[in-house]
C-alpha cells in the first residue's frame, strides 16, 4: 500500500501512514527530526478512537470559548450603551 501523507499546521510537519505486511506504519516528521511506530490493527483502532475523542474535546473547547467571548462582548456593549 502506498503511504498517505497528512500535512501539519507548521512548516516541515507531516505524518505518513501506510500498511506494511500485517502492521500499520506511522511516520511523523517535524523540523527537528522524525519518528515512527508500528501498530497492530487493534492499536490503529485505539489510535483512531483517541484522535476522535480529542477532536470532540477540542470542538467543545472552541464552542465554550466562543460562547464566553460572545457573552463578554455583549456585556461590554450593554455597559457602554446602558447610560444613554
Tell me what percent of the residues of the chain surpass a pLDDT of 70: 92
Question: Would the pTM count as exceeding 0.75?
Answer: no
Answer whether residue 71 shows pLDDT above 90: no
Q: What are phi and psi of 5, to 5 degrees?
A: -105, 130
**Position of cell 483517541?**
50
Specify the DSSP class assigned to residue 12.
T
Per-residue model confidence (pLDDT) at position 15: 96
Per-residue pLDDT reduced to its tens digit, 3-37: 999 999 999 999 999 999 999 999 999 999 999 99
Answer whether residue 82 shows pLDDT above 70: no
Amino acid at each position: 500500500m502506498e503511504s498517505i501523507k497528512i500535512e501539519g499546521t507548521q512548516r516541515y510537519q507531516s505524518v505518513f501512514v501506510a500498511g506494511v505486511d500485517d502492521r500499520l506504519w506511522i511516520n511523523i516528521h517535524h523540523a527537528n527530526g522524525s519518528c515512527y511506530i508500528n501498530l497492530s490493527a487493534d492499536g490503529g483502532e485505539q489510535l483512531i478512537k483517541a484522535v476522535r475523542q480529542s477532536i470532540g474535546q477540542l470542538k467543545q473547547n472552541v464552542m465554550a470559548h466562543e460562547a464566553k467571548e460572545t457573552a463578554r462582548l455583549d456585556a461590554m456593549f450593554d455597559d457602554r450603551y446602558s447610560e444613554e
